[in-house]
Amino acid sequence: MPTPSPALIRVRLDLAYDGTEYNGWATQPGLPTVQGVLEEALAMIIRRRVRTVVAGRTDAGVHARGQVVHFDLTEAEWAAVTRHRESLEPAPTLVRRLNGALSREGGAVVILRASLAPEGFDARFSALWRSYRYAIIDSSAERDPLNRRFTYWHQQELDVGLMDAEARSVLGLHDFLTFCKPRDGATTIRELQDFGFTRDHQTGLITAHLRADAFCHNMVRALVAAAVQVGEGRHPVGWVAGRLEAMVRDAQTRLAPPHALVLDHVEYPDAGSDPTALAARAEGTRARRTRP
């Protein structure tokens, strides 16, 4: 009889990164990516290639404060993280060793936490929602050169009230084809749960905040860019909602620069109150949605 495969356990990692020098999250041959450097660090510790699954793939130049990944190890590999020192726990030891391996990145990628994932956990499909922030300074605000790598410097003064109204006009479950770069076999239907703009009256900083059950490729940057075009007076009130309804991706679909975008948080069901919630959420998310 064939030898049975060893039982696998799932590990969750929470991490943050400055995406400036990376060509996005996903591994690409010959290019520096966040997934690439993370999996290299894991391979140094586990002694084999470890495939990671991420909650939300970020574009080139985009940052994260609350990214989540999972990967599977054998029980022996998990125990060996401590280098057979029984006084140590694998989870904090893995954080320390990974951050040591990632020190070559100059602090751009930091592991925040590691833990054994609850039953049914999937970093991508179990997520209830993801939230992003986008930072803008317009011509009426004071520009801080120390924040220029993480803030979009817009040359015209923006009407934040108009931008906020445009943002809220597209909340809900819609087909966001206009604002997405479609992937083969993937749907562009999403539930946009929160989208708005605020201005800090002391610093002048404009912040866009977005939350959705999931975001398709380019969706955040395209939505922000559309609202900015109304805020600068390029298009009339109601233009963003009209574009959404038109469901056409053309030259008017622009992208805000990536360097001002941050993945803030990924939320999951509480497995403590319902042990089946994570698996049920993953199963429901995998079901292809249709136009409402």
Q: What is the pLDDT of residues 227-240, one digit of tens each?
A: 999 999 999 999 99
Nearest to 107 by CA among 11, 37, 208, 199: 37
pLDDT of residue 86: 66
Angstrom distance (rounded) from CA 52 to CA 288: 23
CB-based burial of residue 4 (10 Å sphere; 0-12 exposed, 13-18 middle, 19+ buried)?
A: exposed
Pairing of strands 109-116, 206-212: unpaired
Calculate ∠ Cα 225-181-64, nearest 5°.
Answer: 65
Q: Pick the catalytic residue: 18, 59, 122, 164?
A: 59
Nearest to 10 by CA among 98, 90, 85, 70: 70
pTM for the structure as a whole:
0.93
Looking at the predicted structure, is the pLDDT value of residue 269 above 60?
Answer: yes
Are residues 244 and 170 in contact, defined by beta-carbon separation less than 8 angstroms?
Answer: yes
Are residues 227 and 235 in contact, defined by beta-carbon separation less than 8 angstroms?
Answer: no
Q: Note the pLDDT tens digit of each residue in 118-160.
A: 999 999 999 999 999 999 999 877 888 988 999 999 999 999 9
pLDDT of residue 291: 57
pLDDT of residue 4: 59
pLDDT of residue 142: 82
Angstrom distance (rounded) from CA 138 to CA 199: 10
159 an active-site residue?
A: no
Q: What percent of the chain stands above pLDDT 90?
A: 83
Instruction: Quote the DSSP letter at residue 104.
Output: G
Angstrom distance (rounded) from CA 209 to CA 107: 26
Are residues 251 and 225 in contact, defined by beta-carbon separation less than 8 angstroms?
Answer: no
Looking at the predicted structure, is the pLDDT value of residue 216 above 60?
Answer: yes
Instruction: Quote the DSSP letter at residue 179.
Output: G
Mean pLDDT of 206-232: 97
